[in-house]
Amino acid sequence: MATDYSELIASQARFFQSGATLSYEFRLGQLKRLREMIQKNEAAIFAALHQDLRKSNFENYVGEVGMVLEDLRYGLKHLKKWMRPQRAHVPLSVWPGKARIYPDPYGQVLVIAPWNYPVQLALTPLYGAMAAGNCVVLKPSEISVHTSALLARLIRENFSSEYLAVVEGGVEATRALLAAKWDYIFFTGSTRVGRIVMEAASQHLTPLTLELGGKSPCIVDASAKIKVAARRIAWGKFFNAGQTCIAPDYLLVQEQVRDALVNELKVSLEEFYGTQAQKSPDYPRIINQAHFERLKGYLGEGKTIIGGQFDASDLYIAPTVLGEVSADSAVMQEEIFGPILPLRTFRDWEDALNQVRALPTPLAAYLFTESEASEAKMRSDLRFGGGCINDTMTHLAVPGLPFGGVGTSGFGAYHGKKSFETFSHSKSIFKKSSWVDPRLRYPPYGDRIKLARRLMG
């Protein structure tokens, strides 16, 4: 029997309606408390992430804790400015008066977070909802069991549940939460589950953000600096053992530099993880047995160029590059979400473009080139959420860049100011002066249409 969360939701509704979350002082204090909670418990967070994903402390900081703290630093610096009303132009047709846009919190927000970055992808949207003045229920993934339990405990110890609460549990808990009425829903996860969340939100006409995934291409043309490209591709793909929604999902390499890139990928991977990545303290593991079995199934598709080793008892799959993969194979049709990188070649830009367009719109795209013409073609010809030129994944680390998908990779965005805007409704108010009352709009109109045309045309 599903748990009833009605009392929790009702208590948050009462707290929000009291106006307690609206002031700058309250929001600033709560964001500082969140920052302090993270900083004081860094060691415990690292330990939980290691238990769930075997991540090194460096990856734990760079990909999780540090990302949240950077967004918090940016938000704390700019919050007062973001909260100010914005002036809007007033046309002569409605003069005299003043127009303002007021950022208004939605109210009660549900944040559903995934398992692959269980700290960053839970706390970054949480920060945005808090900055905007909302109450939040956070639903972390039951798959990252240790990190989710830690977040639940820390938030319970540092915040009142009528303001922030964490609901643990599996599919039934998520279903019960989705059945309730929310003012906003923020979901990060797969496209399949995203459709379920969107359908649930539609029952109450609830606005939402969907941060999904997809087949993110990494294109390497003949002009690229191959050694640098290989190092940055290997880092982006095998960080967190490839369990990253914006990791390069497949390589498209111009034919004449294919062999050189493969050779440099081998060199980079050996530099990163040694000759046996399983023994490296810096190489994570697959989250659970089900995902391990799913990924192992891809290893038989195409020809193994690099890696291919696995150990079920250790949830280990080596950094792997596959060649000679067909366009209709499962590894090229499904989001991989693991340390397996299919490699295909292309002749020219039109060929590369056609291969990318044959797949759903990606969350990210990457191009390695020294050609300004290729850069321009990427920007104009490819449709994707966001990406990098001559790097992978680092666009996510720039607070000033909104992060989000398009098409099947999701909609809506967050990070930096965009997080505040995502969780705020733009309330528009026009204040009309009562000192003067022009008769233009009042009947009888006579021939005033001529004046209306001059003012409004």
Same domain, 206 and 246: no
Same domain, 176 and 67: yes
What CATH number should be reported for the domain holding residue 231?
A: 3.40.309.10
Same domain, 207 and 269: no
- Tell me how far apart the alpha carbons of residues 418 and 320 are, in angstroms, rounded to a whole number: 36
Q: Is 245 a catalytic residue?
A: yes
pLDDT higher than 50, residue 277: yes
- Tell me how far apart the alpha carbons of residues 18 and 133 are, in angstroms, rounded to a whole number: 12
Q: Would residue 451 count as lying in a domain? A: no
- Facing residues of 428 across strands? 101
**pLDDT tier at 355 (50, 70, 90 boundaries)?**
very high
Catalytic member of 245, 264, 335, 388: 245
Same domain, 236 and 183: no
Which pair of structure tokens corresponds to residue 340? 């397996």
DSSP string, 345-385: EESSHHHHHHHHHTSPPPSEEEEE-S-HHHHHHHHHH---S
Query: What average pLDDT score do residues 245-271 get?
Result: 97
Same domain, 201 and 221: no
Same domain, 207 and 223: no
Same domain, 147 and 236: no
Q: Would residue 336 count as lying in a domain? A: yes
Tally of structural domains, the chain: 2
**pLDDT tier at 2 (50, 70, 90 boundaries)?**
low
Which pair of structure tokens corresponds to residue 38? 């993270």
Catalytic member of 59, 64, 211, 264: 211
Percent of the chain with pLDDT over 90: 91
Give me the pLDDT at residue 412, please. Answer: 95
Identify the domain containing residue 287 by its residue range: 217-397
CA distances from 292 to 143, 228, 238, 285 (A): 13, 30, 15, 9
Same domain, 232 and 203: no
R_g over Cα of the chain: 25
Name residue, tokens 């409004």: 456
Higher pLDDT, 33 or 446: 33
Same domain, 115 and 207: yes
What CATH number should be reported for the domain holding residue 43?
A: 3.40.605.10
> pLDDT tens digit string along 111-136?
999 999 999 999 999 999 999 999 99
Q: Is 211 a catalytic residue?
A: yes
Same domain, 126 and 234: no
> pLDDT tens digit string along 164-188?
999 999 999 999 999 999 999 999 9
Angle between helices 66-83 and 120-131 (to 10 degrees): 10
Same domain, 289 and 414: no
> pLDDT tens digit string along 37-46?
999 999 999 9
- Tell me how far apart the alpha carbons of residues 320 and 333 are, in angstroms, rounded to a whole number: 17
Give me the pLDDT at residue 456, please. Answer: 85
Do you know the residue count of the chain?
457
Same domain, 311 and 187: no
